[in-house]
Amino acid sequence: MIESLKLEKHDESRQGEVFTSPAGSAVSASRFFYIESYGCAMNFADSEIVASILHENGFGVTKTMEDADLVLLNTCSIREKAEQTVRKRLTEFRKLKKTKPGMLIGVLGCMAERLKNKLLEEEKLVDLVVGPDAYRSLPSLIDEADTGQKAVNVLLSRDETYADISPVRLNSNGVTGFVSIMRGCNNMCSFCVVPFTRGRERSRDAGSIVTECRQLFEEGIREITLLGQNVDSYHYFDELTEQTVSFSQLLETVAGIDPLLRVRFSTSHPKDITDDVLFSMQRYPNICRYIHLPMQSGSTRVLQLMNRTYTREWYKAKVDRIRELIPDCGITSDIISGFCTETDEDHRDTLGLMAYSQLDFSYMYFYSERPGTLAARRYTDDVPETIKKERLAEIVDLQGRLSRESNQRDLGKTFDVLIEGESKRNAAEWMGRNSQNKVIVFPKTSPQQKKGDYVMVTVTDYTQATLLGAIVSGDR
């Protein structure tokens, strides 16, 4: 996923432009930044924290990099292709800098932490490198880079959660928003760089999370996604009340802000998601009937090599429990083909578990060895790329069939849909999502309808990726 993040319309005069800071005060901007985010939703949420920090230090935002004094890339290091894309983009920025000698180029996020020396010294692509836990130091690093020095801070923290920073909502549709509830990961999956680039797990103050969610609702946001590398591990000890807040308790507190506020969460780990979370979803209709449950592989042997700490049978049991307690729950997944030593039998196990789970959608990739991971140190990446791609094609084909079958089962059903905006293909149609996180497109029927409204929509047709429908009488 790649997206340029913008906040407001750019003023060609720029000098002395006034914008509103997150605290609501007017600030005059003499320098401007442009930021692009790559990868997961956590990176997009982090970019909003960065924007807040820069705004408080006199930077405005521009939607065109040609007008920027500071160009930032918030990067992903999860797959080799993502890193190649970032390098290509940085090369384009360096060409632009030759026409603007005073412009600074910076890399943020996971790739910054992992490749700091290459980016700064060997490839000379950037002026500053800032890791995920060091965004508060951005103003001083910018000052350092302004003198011609290379500026870097990639130190990981045991306690940084940015809980006191009110994010600037970048490129928001005004209806949905992300709220980070924790940072880092303790799981040490052998294929994953996250524990090395984002550090160990630490949970954010529960009160600050609820306050941010309530503020978003008051500003018109009607759907919030609570974000964490592993949200089920959320665990916060409140020293004032001397009580521990679990993820299920946090989920219910946020859902209790208002029935009109939808709540989603991502990502869950199959070994950690509890019945308490499922019971919370039962109790609160505004907690969406949707769980992203990464499988990665359907082979117990491969899962053990991946250090996923669950088996094929465990995953099936979790799916069964979800279906038992929340029959209408949507389930999506992540799947990797061609992990080290994967055999044809392992691959067939993955296809079988996908079919058993009746996944609505999956993010599917072939294995890309990441330097520094446990897998890179312990195993040989011995599955030929041609085999990886062949197996991935079979996974994609199967998921396409499962998605179509899932959508076909929704024909004739009526869903409560939150309008997120106009359809990209037809201004006479709305686009929204149901509780199961499926996109539904339907004709506009009233000039009073607007983004952020809930409407009841009956499904009349479908494609592999989208439901098609019509608003019915008795709108919510």
Domain segments of the chain as ranges: 2-153, 172-288, 290-308+315-409, 414-471
Q: What is the dihedral of CA 122, 96, 41, 436, to 10 degrees?
A: -140
Find the helix or strand (DSSP H, E) in which 441 lies.
Answer: strand 439-443
- Per-residue pLDDT of 302-316, as tens digits, reads 999 999 999 999 999
Q: What percent of the chain has pLDDT over 90?
A: 72
Q: What percent of the chain has pLDDT over 70?
A: 92
What predicted TM-score, i.e. pTM, was given to this entire model?
Answer: 0.88
**What order of strands is seen across the sheet that includes strand 330-337?**
290-292, 330-337, 361-366
Q: How many whole angstroms separate alpha carbon 213 and alpha carbon 15?
A: 34
Angle between helices 344-357 and 385-409 (to 10 degrees): 10
pLDDT at residue 27, rounded to an integer: 46
pLDDT at residue 156, rounded to an integer: 86
Work out the average pLDDT over 168-190: 91
pLDDT at residue 16, rounded to an integer: 33
pLDDT at residue 168, rounded to an integer: 85
Work out the average pLDDT over 359-377: 94
**CB contact set of 201 (below 8 Å; sequence gap of 6+):** 182, 183, 184, 185, 186, 229, 230, 233
| Percent of residues in the chain assigned helix, strand, coil, to nearest 5 | 35, 25, 40
Question: 375 pLDDT exceeds 90?
Answer: yes
**CA–CA–CA angle 292, 298, 299 (5° rounding):** 145
Please report which confidence band the pLDDT of residue 18 belongs to, taking 50, 70 and 90 as the band edges.
very low
Weakest-pLDDT range from 81-85, 170-174, 223-227, 441-445: 81-85
Same topology, domains 172-288 and 290-308+315-409? Answer is: yes
pLDDT at residue 325, rounded to an integer: 98
Domain 290-308+315-409 -> CATH class: alpha beta
Angle between helices 41-56 and 138-146 (to 10 degrees): 70
- For the chain, the average pLDDT equals 89
Chain centre distance of CA 455: 26
pLDDT at residue 406, rounded to an integer: 98
pLDDT at residue 29, rounded to an integer: 65
Structure tokens at 215: 């503020």
Weakest-pLDDT range from 80-94, 142-156, 202-216: 80-94
Please report which confidence band the pLDDT of residue 142 belongs to, taking 50, 70 and 90 as the band edges.
very high
pLDDT at residue 10, rounded to an integer: 29
Q: Which residue has the higher pLDDT, 78 or 149?
A: 149
Chain centre distance of CA 192: 16
Work out the average pLDDT over 185-203: 91
CATH fold for domain 414-471: OB fold (Dihydrolipoamide Acetyltransferase, E2P) (2.40.50)
CATH number of this structure's domain 2-153: 3.40.50.12160
Please report which confidence band the pLDDT of residue 281 belongs to, taking 50, 70 and 90 as the band edges.
very high
- Per-residue pLDDT of 19-64, as tens digits, reads 334 444 444 568 999 999 888 888 889 999 999 999 999 999 988 8
Work out the average pLDDT over 77-83: 72
C-alpha separations of 92 from 36, 48, 65, 350 in Å = 13, 24, 11, 40
Weakest-pLDDT range from 150-154, 261-265, 309-313: 150-154
**CB contact set of 57 (below 8 Å; sequence gap of 6+):** 138, 139
- Per-residue pLDDT of 282-332, as tens digits, reads 999 999 999 999 999 999 999 999 999 999 999 999 999 999 999 999 999
Weakest-pLDDT range from 158-172, 334-348, 397-411, 436-450: 158-172
**98-118 CB burial, b ≥16 within 10 A, e <16:** eeeeebbbbbbbbbbbbbbee
Question: 9 pLDDT exceeds 90?
Answer: no
Q: Which residue has the higher pLDDT, 239 or 143?
A: 143
Enter the DSSP assignment of 256.
Answer: T
98 closest CA partner among 66, 134, 55 = 66
Cβ 391 vs Cβ 338: under 8 Å: yes
Mapped onto helix, strand or coil, the DSSP state of residue 280 is helix
Chain centre distance of CA 307: 23
- Per-residue pLDDT of 336-355, as tens digits, reads 999 999 999 999 999 999 99
The arrangement of secondary structure in 172-288, i.e. its CATH architecture, is 2-Layer Sandwich (3.30)
Chain centre distance of CA 316: 25
Question: 175 pLDDT exceeds 50?
Answer: yes
- Per-residue pLDDT of 119-131, as tens digits, reads 777 557 889 999 9
Structure tokens at 428: 């006479």
In 121-200, where does DSSP find H-type helix? Answer: 138-146, 194-197
Q: How many whole angstroms separate alpha carbon 367 and alpha carbon 370?
A: 9
Please report which confidence band the pLDDT of residue 7 belongs to, taking 50, 70 and 90 as the band edges.
very low
**CB contact set of 16 (below 8 Å; sequence gap of 6+):** 28, 29, 30
Structure tokens at 51: 């924007």
Question: 78 pLDDT exceeds 80?
Answer: no
Cβ 234 vs Cβ 228: under 8 Å: yes
Q: How many whole angstroms separate alpha carbon 423 and alpha carbon 68?
A: 31
Work out the average pLDDT over 166-172: 82
Chain position carrying tokens 């009109």: 260
